[in-house]
Amino acid sequence: MVELAVSPNLIQVTDREHFVGILDKFIEKQSVATLLPQLMSLLKFPGPDWFRSVISKRLSTLPLRQGGVRQTVDFIAGADSGKLATAALSRTSKLLTSVPSEMTTEAYFSALAPQLLEMLDDSSSDNRRIASYIIGNGILSKRAIGSPGTNGWNLFARPIHDSINPQEQQFTSDLELKVALDRLSALVQYHANPGLTKRLVVPILLPLWGLLCFAAQNHNSMVAEQVHHILALYMKVSVTDAQLIFLGENILWDGPTHWSFRQSVDGGVEIAERGMVASSSQDMLALNDMIDNRVEQYVKLLTTAILTDDQIGEVLTQACQRWLDGCPRGAPESFDPNQSQMKSSMETLASVKLTHRLLEVFRDEITSSFQGIFKLVEPLLAAFVVEHKQSVERLARRSNPSLATLADIASDEAEP
């Protein structure tokens, strides 16, 4: 039948399309489980190029059938003594990501994606492991089909990012957020390489941080533990000093201007329009508890990461510098309850608390070398020098009064 349909040697066959139709109908009637071993066995034997081409073409379209991905996985697992070790996973991924010659890459992966995502969302850890390997190693790790902007990225990675960091006028329900976190967790946990983990996590680093803190503050341990696990995995394989400092600088971040996290009716976490989220009151005790929670979450992440003493020292130095930069010079100003003043005060308080907590937890690492001690003392000495210089200049102006310094003198004398 195959020879009548496509063999170039039978030039007398004029109704070739008729036999091609018969061949395709015959194959269509067979199940994937039946065809896979037969077609694979035919490829193992030497044969003319046209014959192997026909077999490969029909084989590559089998995964697109209903349940085709799962049956392909089962077939290769069966050939691997019922298990799917790394080598067998690699063969499965190679077969499933081989685009048929008559289809475009976009069309093929768009048709394949629903089955892979269904496996990725499955409660079975085996299905999640297999799907994450195929998506992560077979698609997203390949520049041509899986880098940002490509069809593979738009099918598997971008929906995760859009759910965790929605754009203008786009918000996320608790169920959508759960699905996105489950998928991201599987992709970074199973077989993901450092480069892929970085590309998946870095664009949504702040939203993940904000979500972690919100969930922990509101006692949603399931979400908090899942996000912590994602960030911890990232920090172990790809985090840089700049990103550690970036998180410390944004330790109070709770969302962009147009959305924020809130508890859903079912007790989960959703992303809603910021105007619909009850604004925080000026309850200083609540604000203090919120800062303590965020400092603790940040330090907890640092303890799970594989950091050098120099990295820890740099994080502490930057926190200490932010604290000193936020301290007012000279006489304190009167309290201004506006939002910008409140934000600045909270950021300074967070830097103070973070510095103190880092010294408590990483005392041995920081003081283990002269360089670590010097990094800690340096900003304190610099702040003292600046304050001393300003004090000397004020004294010099007082000893040589002029019209330009009368206001300063009067102001100092007026202070209680």
Distances (CA, A) of 348 to 327, 357, 362, 386, 409: 7, 14, 21, 19, 29
Mean pLDDT of 353-364: 91
- Which of residues 244 and 376 earns the better pLDDT score? 244
> Residue 4 pLDDT > 50, yes or no?
no
pLDDT of residue 220: 95
Cα distance between the two ends of the chain: 104
pLDDT of residue 1: 47
Q: 87: pLDDT confidence band, cut at 50, 70 and 90?
A: confident
pLDDT of residue 11: 47
Mean pLDDT of 281-286: 70
- Which of residues 246 and 1 earns the better pLDDT score? 246
pLDDT of residue 151: 96
Highest mean pLDDT among 35-39, 145-149, 374-378, 398-402: 145-149
Q: 308: pLDDT confidence band, cut at 50, 70 and 90?
A: confident
pLDDT of residue 332: 39
- Which of residues 245 and 335 earns the better pLDDT score? 245
> Residue 321 pLDDT > 90, yes or no?
no
pLDDT of residue 166: 96
Q: 328: pLDDT confidence band, cut at 50, 70 and 90?
A: very low
> Residue 134 pLDDT > 70, yes or no?
yes
- Which of residues 383 and 279 earns the better pLDDT score? 383
Mean pLDDT of 278-304: 83
Lowest mean pLDDT among 80-84, 189-193, 318-322, 356-360: 80-84
Dist. CA 10–CA 51, nearest whole Å: 13
pLDDT of residue 225: 97
Backbone angles phi, psi at 144, to 5 degrees: -65, -35
Q: 284: pLDDT confidence band, cut at 50, 70 and 90?
A: confident
Mean pLDDT of 345-350: 89
β-bridge partners, 261: 271
Please tell me whether the overall predicted TM-score, pTM, comes out greater than 0.85 for this model.
no
- Which of residues 145 and 399 earns the better pLDDT score? 145
Lowest mean pLDDT among 5-19, 48-62, 225-239: 5-19
Dist. CA 126–CA 104, nearest whole Å: 30
> Residue 127 pLDDT > 80, yes or no?
yes
> Residue 5 pLDDT > 60, yes or no?
no
pLDDT of residue 260: 94
pLDDT of residue 380: 61
Mean pLDDT, rounded, of the chain = 81
pLDDT of residue 191: 75
> Residue 309 pLDDT > 90, yes or no?
no
pLDDT of residue 339: 57
pLDDT of residue 32: 83
Element of type H or E holding 269: strand 269-273
Mean pLDDT of 175-183: 97
pLDDT of residue 109: 97
Lowest mean pLDDT among 214-218, 276-280, 400-404: 276-280
